[in-house]
């Protein structure tokens, strides 16, 4: 009988102890080879398995031209992956009984307004987080992309002027602006800024010792990565890597949507908390089991974008947005994940709950093909799938996307009509105002027209004639996405309005020039 009992015990233990444990044996070498092949400055990876941190290290350098290496404590800007931490901060307040997920926002922020008075009354804290408000994709992002002079309170107040694209709760459209509102709500409820509350109650309470919630704190940490991008080609993403000005960043008013910086060690701590449903290593809890379930529960169905045949295994059959997380399937397993990107840095955080495995990949560049390739290589490793060549396939996809963007620009620039402008250049000069963004000033001088987005210090430069009454921006800062600027004239030749759109077909959606509706105003200077 004893051998039978031992066999049964052995079988039980083998079922409980995952055979997939431990990262790929060659991960150190393979990541470094890929990094050099792609030309990425640096990458950092955290992996946790069954409550253990099995990897927290880096490859490459913090900043091109310098030798300081990336290690497990190097902090990276992690973009929209921070939305889950803003949700966790709210979960802490729910556990304390200070708010409820389905409380109307105006119950805690009586001054807050949406464009529609009925939506103002009905929108809840949950609605702020799940991208079903009726706003369009990235609508309002120009208020903090890039750095701005607007405060978070001012930003939340201007949401009242954003005209919805769909009816309330009828469709999914990713936004950042309502996470900024959620950050302001935390301040209204607690008296602490989002930065202070999340540092104290989420980051430090969760054992994330290197993580920062404030840019000035980040700048004081020597072991931090610098952002990099390829800006010297006809399209962002083409050309050699170059270090960006780290202070030209996401506006701090938008930080609750993606303004955190974490190290691989921090990410490991965060992943372990998530997979433990809020439990901490010391037996305490960051948030309750109930709130953990709330944050992973799918709320808003997301449309599925078709992928090319080479990438079909990565295409989910169902996906939805939860509270700061995206929930989808992959090879028959539930995946909890989120990506993030800010100027010069990209991140992906992934969990496989039924394997009790999670990982995060952070890069100090914008090389999305490499990020996605590593993501799916790790997913397949922990799901015991054969090698599919994901790193090559995703890099090919990324390069094809860039090539398509270049071809679009070639065609667009090949044949502008040799007509216009209708007015002397001085006739276009003036101050133009959009209710949610603020003022854009068009100036006229000896060298032609200038443009100044007054709420955004970096967004200034010249306007070059394109065709008819349309011009194209030539910003002083090459990191700013260029835009077409089109003037509408009345029968008397007076400018009645200005509209814009990004020049690039693949520009990040946060450059939401198309949402501007600028009207002339008297310049009282």
> Using one digit for the tens of pLDDT, what is the confidence trace for 423-444?
999 999 999 999 999 999 999 9
Q: What pLDDT does residue 2 have?
A: 34
Strands (E), 125-235: 228-230
Who wins on pLDDT, 169 or 246? 169
The answer to which of 13-22, 49-58, 384-393 has the lowest mean pLDDT is 13-22
When pLDDT is cut at 50, 70 and 90, the band that residue 5 belongs to is very low
Q: What does the alpha-carbon distance between residue 179 and residue 48 come to, in Å, rounded to a whole number?
A: 28
Q: Which domains does the chain have, with CATH numbers?
A: 22-405 (3.40.710.10), 425-521 (2.40.128.50)
Q: What pLDDT does residue 417 have?
A: 79
Residue 439's DSSP bridge partners are: 433
Q: Token pair 């398995």 is at which residue?
A: 49
Percent residues over pLDDT 70 in the chain: 95
When pLDDT is cut at 50, 70 and 90, the band that residue 523 belongs to is low
Bridge-based pairing state of the strands 357-363 and 345-352: antiparallel
Q: Is the pLDDT of residue 415 over 90?
A: no
Q: Please give, one letter per residue, the 3-state secondary structure of 483-515.
A: EEEEEEECCCCCEEEEEEEECCCCCCCCCCHHH
Q: What pLDDT does residue 21 have?
A: 61
Q: What does the alpha-carbon distance between residue 227 and residue 463 come to, in Å, rounded to a whole number?
A: 28
Q: How many helices and strands in the chain, by DSSP H and E?
A: 14, 20
Whole-number average pLDDT of the chain:
93
Q: Is the pLDDT of residue 341 over 80?
A: yes
When pLDDT is cut at 50, 70 and 90, the band that residue 458 belongs to is confident
CA distances 414 to 157, 411, 506, Å, are 43, 5, 18
Q: Is the pLDDT of residue 90 over 80?
A: yes
**All residues at 6 or more sequence positions from 488 whose CB lies less than 8 Å from its CB, including other chains:** 469, 495, 496, 497, 498, 499
> Using one digit for the tens of pLDDT, what is the confidence trace for 12-40?
333 444 444 689 999 999 999 999 999 99
Average pLDDT (168-180) is 98
Q: What is the CA radius of gyration of the chain?
A: 24
Q: What pLDDT does residue 146 have?
A: 87
When pLDDT is cut at 50, 70 and 90, the band that residue 11 belongs to is very low
Q: Is the pLDDT of residue 242 over 60?
A: yes
Q: Is the pLDDT of residue 136 over 70?
A: yes
Q: What pLDDT does residue 396 have?
A: 95
Q: What pLDDT does residue 233 have?
A: 84
Q: What does the alpha-carbon distance between residue 324 and residue 15 come to, in Å, rounded to a whole number?
A: 32
> Using one digit for the tens of pLDDT, what is the confidence trace for 195-219?
999 999 999 999 999 999 999 999 9
Q: What does the alpha-carbon distance between residue 459 and residue 111 come to, in Å, rounded to a whole number?
A: 30
Single pTM value for the model: 0.93
Q: What pLDDT does residue 409 have?
A: 87
Q: Which of 318, 208, 352 is CA-nearest to residue 266? A: 208
Average pLDDT (180-185) is 98
Q: Token pair 């790929």 is at which residue?
A: 24
């Amino acid at each position: 009988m004893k051998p039978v009992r031992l066999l049964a015990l052995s079988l039980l233990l083998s079922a409980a102890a995952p055979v997939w444990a431990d990262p790929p044996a060659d991960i150190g070498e393979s990541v470094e080879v890929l990094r050099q092949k792609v030309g990425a400055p640096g990458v950092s990876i955290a992996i946790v398995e069954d409550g253990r941190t099995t990897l927290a290290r880096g490859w490459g350098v913090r900043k091109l031209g310098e030798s300081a290496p990336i290690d497990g404590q190097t902090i990276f800007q992690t973009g929209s992956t921070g939305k889950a931490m803003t949700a966790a901060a709210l979960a802490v307040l729910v556990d304390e009984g200070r708010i409820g997920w389905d409380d109307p926002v105006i119950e805690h922020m009586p001054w807050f307004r949406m464009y529609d008075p009925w939506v103002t009354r009905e929108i809840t804290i949950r609605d702020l987080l799940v991208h079903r408000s009726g706003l369009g994709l990235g609508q309002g992002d120009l208020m903090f992309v890039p750095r701005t002079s607007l405060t978070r309170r001012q930003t939340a107040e201007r949401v009242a002027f954003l005209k919805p694209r769909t009816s309330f709760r009828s469709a999914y459209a990713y936004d950042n602006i309502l996470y900024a509102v959620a950050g302001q709500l935390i301040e209204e409820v607690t008296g602490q800024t989002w930065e202070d509350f999340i540092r104290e109650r989420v980051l430090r309470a969760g054992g994330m010792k290197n993580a920062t919630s404030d840019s000035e704190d980040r700048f004081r940490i020597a072991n931090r990565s610098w952002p990099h991008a390829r800006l010297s080609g006809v399209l962002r993403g083409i050309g050699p890597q170059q270090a960006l000005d780290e202070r030209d960043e996401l506006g701090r008013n938008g930080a609750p949507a993606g303004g955190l910086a974490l190290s691989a060690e921090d990410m490991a701590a965060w992943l372990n908390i998530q997979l433990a449903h809020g439990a901490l290593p010391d037996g305490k809890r960051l948030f309750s089991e109930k709130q953990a379930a709330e944050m992973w529960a799918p709320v808003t169905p997301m449309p599925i974008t078709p992928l090319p045949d080479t990438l079909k295994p990565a295409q989910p059959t169902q996906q939805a947005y939860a509270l700061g997380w995206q929930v989808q399937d992959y090879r028959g397993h539930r995946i909890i994940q989120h990506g993030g990107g800010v100027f010069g840095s990209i991140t992906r955080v992934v969990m496989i709950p039924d394997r009790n495995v999670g990982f995060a990949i952070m890069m100090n560049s914008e090389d999305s093909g490499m990020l996605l390739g590593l993501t799916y290589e790790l997913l397949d490793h922990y799901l015991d799938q054969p090698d599919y060549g994901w790193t090559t396939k995703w890099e090919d996809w990324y390069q094809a996307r860039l090539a398509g963007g270049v071809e679009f620009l070639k065609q667009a620039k090949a044949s502008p009509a040799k007509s216009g402008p209708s007015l002397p250049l001085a006739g276009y000069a003036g101050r133009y105002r959009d209710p949610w963004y603020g003022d854009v000033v068009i100036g006229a001088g000896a060298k032609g027209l200038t443009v100044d987005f007054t709420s955004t210090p970096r967004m200034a430069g010249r306007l070059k004639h394109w065709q008819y009454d349309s011009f194209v921006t030539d910003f002083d800062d090459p990191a700013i996405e260029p835009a077409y600027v089109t003037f509408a004239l009345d029968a008397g030749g007076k400018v009645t309005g200005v509209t814009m759109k990004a020049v690039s077909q693949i520009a990040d959606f946060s450059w939401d020039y198309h949402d501007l509706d600028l009207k002339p105003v008297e310049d009282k200077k």
